[in-house]
Chains A and B, each alone.
Chain A
């Protein structure tokens, strides 16, 4: 692989920041419009009462909680993948890490909005936070929703740090290459970065610490999200496998989200020289592993339920397996297992970006369905036959859940406008260089010519 020169890297990756085409405004206008519509729709819901949604007795959770779990899952793309790849020193990760970490931060922000959006009285959401209040009451620390609140906040803080740290040297490059107000802003953001060996050393140390710290946090976040379900005595919810099952599914959907985002970036920001087919292929291999793992968990969950033969659970089991939810269920199996295993298992399709993107789109759809199929069939079919019910989403919920996809594109587009979407200094650091990253690239370049 011929590496683009440092100068080339700088100009290629800073170009989107300095030059704005009409396409950018069109994208922002289009996706911004969708997001604003959804926000307006939600205010309408908050104003007129929750009854304008399709939520009903006995299915009290629907599209919103599905979206919540889905986006928290997608958020495992970044930090987790990039932290793992950093720790195992996979060199191919370099152009991929920032794209991934950005997904994490934005997907978390979107996902974290849903538990608030779905509240009956969303204006009181801050009662989840422990603070000394005139109500003289703490949040209930036994409630998985409170664990969620802490887990998501911790993960968000951690991933923002993990994203910001390696941006500092890049901010410094932009500072040096720009003038006026932009120079002042990026100057402040780069926090006095001069590229001294000491600074590089500190950055590397901080990154290593963060990579180690973020891993257990990421695993715990989705385990705790799964606890929202497995802690309640609802048929097919109370399962010991939910923790690892959700974490695996989260990483799985995260990789899919990352592949789709990378394909778009490559196309629209002309990053063909940086995001190579080999990156897609490697992520495709990871996705293949996760698809097989996901299949194993689903098979395990289903088989244990089937042999357990508990009447209430079996009612839900057959509902998803061959009754009203069967079409969705088998679509999920095809999207999450058959499609990625075939496309990523065959070398020919795995090596093409199109093949990777098609498999990823399937996985995103399949994982969304998976969360829906965990939540809704169980709630509509609890123990007493008198209280069976069917949930149908209303347009309003579909708009809000659908607009999250526009929201992530919008945030991504805006982000790519202010920060190079590929970490420039990581690209420049020579690969397999003894002690790479310990010193500024310039110093290392000097060292290369000396005997």
Chain B
């Protein structure tokens, strides 16, 4: 059984935002318009956090792409009263939209604040509705949604490999953000396979997890930026 994980090389990330756009397109994430975005209703399953370090003019800009960390010990899971937030066998935090009644408890419990609430029914101006991805369900008003590691792609590749009677190879599965990253800062794969790229990167001495001391066991490893002195 695989355990899916990701590595994000902060040395490579340029903060271009291609991953954010690709994620929106792949996962049918509705945009809410400038007014609602201003009021905190924007949904970005992956976001590029920008942090400045130092005092002007000696500033250093840091980027950090943050998506659901698919925690091994996720705070969002035990608090959900309806099992909408649930752990899968392959180590993902599944979000079952149809079970969600919208208590938003999971979003409060999530230390990374990567869960998003559908404040309104999603809308797409015609003909934009034609671009929707048929593999991803639309979320109605009142449910939580979040990064799935593009579970539809994981499932599709797994089923295809089974049909072809072949083994899944490292790199066969690429979530939209990984696929679209021009700097190849994001690497996705099976953490249970010691030979996979993501496993090797996760063990890098540069690697660290986000808010690791909370004990959430995230599946995403961040490779820190090297300082050039």
Q: Which of B4-12, B21-29, B72-80, B180-188 contacts its partner? A: B72-80
A127 proximity list for chain B (CB < 8 A): 81-82, 99, 101
Q: Which of A184-192, A226-234, A314-322, A397-405 contacts its partner? A: A226-234
Q: Are B108's CB and A61's CB within 8 A? A: yes
Find B109's partner among A50, A121, A233 (CB 8 Å cutoff). Answer: A233
In the complex formed, the residue of A with least CB distance to B49 is: A386
- Output the least CB separation between B37 and chain A (Å): 10
Query: Is B211 positioned at the interface, with any CB of A under 8 Å from its CB?
Result: yes
Q: Which of B171-229 contact A (CB under 8 A)?
A: 210-211, 214, 216
Q: Within the assembled complex, what's the spacing in Å between the Cα atoms of A58 and B109?
A: 11
Q: Which of A358-400 contact B (CB under 8 A)?
A: 379, 382-387, 389
Q: Are B81's CB and A232's CB within 8 A? A: no
Q: Are A51's CB and B120's CB within 8 A? A: yes
In the complex formed, the residue of B with least CB distance to A120 is: B102
Q: Within the assembled complex, what's the spacing in Å between the Cα atoms of A379 and B115?
A: 13
- Output the least CB separation between A363 and chain B (Å): 27
Given known pairs A49-B119, A119-B142, A137-B99, the reply for A58 and B113 (CB within 8 Å) is yes
A142 proximity list for chain B (CB < 8 A): 78-79
Q: Are A56's CB and B102's CB within 8 A? A: no
B102 proximity list for chain A (CB < 8 A): 50, 119-121
A 58-81 binary contact with B (CB < 8 Å = 1; else 0): 111100000000000000000000
A 131-170 binary contact with B (CB < 8 Å = 1; else 0): 0000101011011111001000000000000000000000
Q: Within the assembled complex, what's the spacing in Å between the Cα atoms of A145 and B106?
A: 11
Query: Is B51 positioned at the interface, with any CB of A under 8 Å from its CB?
Result: yes
B side interface size, CB within 8 A: 45
B129 proximity list for chain A (CB < 8 A): none
What is the interface of chain A mostly: helix, strand, loop, or mixed? Answer: loop
- Output the least CB separation between B118 and chain A (Å): 7
Q: Are B119's CB and A140's CB within 8 A? A: no
Query: Is A128 positioned at the interface, with any CB of B under 8 Å from its CB?
Result: yes
A 214-239 binary contact with B (CB < 8 Å = 1; else 0): 00000000000000100111100000
B68 proximity list for chain A (CB < 8 A): none
Given known pairs A50-B119, A143-B105, A233-B111, the reply for A383 and B79 (CB within 8 Å) is no
In the complex formed, the residue of B with least CB distance to A378 is: B108
Q: Are B101's CB and A119's CB within 8 A? A: yes
Q: Which of B126-154 contact A (CB under 8 A)?
A: 140-144
Query: Is B103 positioned at the interface, with any CB of A under 8 Å from its CB?
Result: yes
Find B141's partner among A49, A135, A385 (CB 8 Å cutoff). Answer: A49
Q: Are B111's CB and A383's CB within 8 A? A: yes
Q: Are B79's CB and A57's CB within 8 A? A: no
In the complex formed, the residue of A with least CB distance to B144 is: A120
- Output the least CB separation between B113 and chain A (Å): 4
Query: Is A124 positioned at the interface, with any CB of B under 8 Å from its CB?
Result: yes
B 93-111 binary contact with A (CB < 8 Å = 1; else 0): 0000001111111011101
Report which residue of A48, A51, A60, A61 has the largest number of chain B beta carbons within 10 angstroms of its beta carbon.
Answer: A60
Query: Is B41 positioned at the interface, with any CB of A under 8 Å from its CB?
Result: yes
A side interface size, CB within 8 A: 44
A415 proximity list for chain B (CB < 8 A): none
B100 proximity list for chain A (CB < 8 A): 120-121
In the complex formed, the residue of B with least CB distance to A137 is: B83
Query: Is B39 positioned at the interface, with any CB of A under 8 Å from its CB?
Result: yes
Find B107's partner among A60, A128, A145 (CB 8 Å cutoff). Answer: A60
Given known pairs A49-B120, A385-B51, the reply for A232 and B79 (CB within 8 Å) is yes
Q: Within the assembled complex, what's the spacing in Å between the Cα atoms of A231 and B216?
A: 14
A58 proximity list for chain B (CB < 8 A): 40, 107, 113
Find A143's partner among B42, B79, B99, B118 (CB 8 Å cutoff). Answer: B79
In the complex formed, the residue of B with least CB distance to A54 is: B39
A48 proximity list for chain B (CB < 8 A): 120
Q: Are B116's CB and A128's CB within 8 A? A: no
Given known pairs A234-B108, A234-B109, the reply for A389 and B101 (CB within 8 Å) is no
B interface with A by C-beta (< 8 Å): 36, 39-42, 47, 49-51, 66, 75, 78-83, 99-105, 107-109, 111-113, 116-121, 140-144, 210-211, 214, 216
A interface with B by C-beta (< 8 Å): 48-51, 55-61, 115, 118-122, 124-125, 127-128, 135, 137, 139-140, 142-146, 149, 228, 231-234, 379, 382-387, 389
Cβ contacts A to B, 12 pairs, < 8 Å: A49-B121, A50-B119, A58-B40, A120-B118, A120-B141, A124-B101, A140-B83, A143-B79, A145-B105, A146-B81, A232-B108, A386-B49
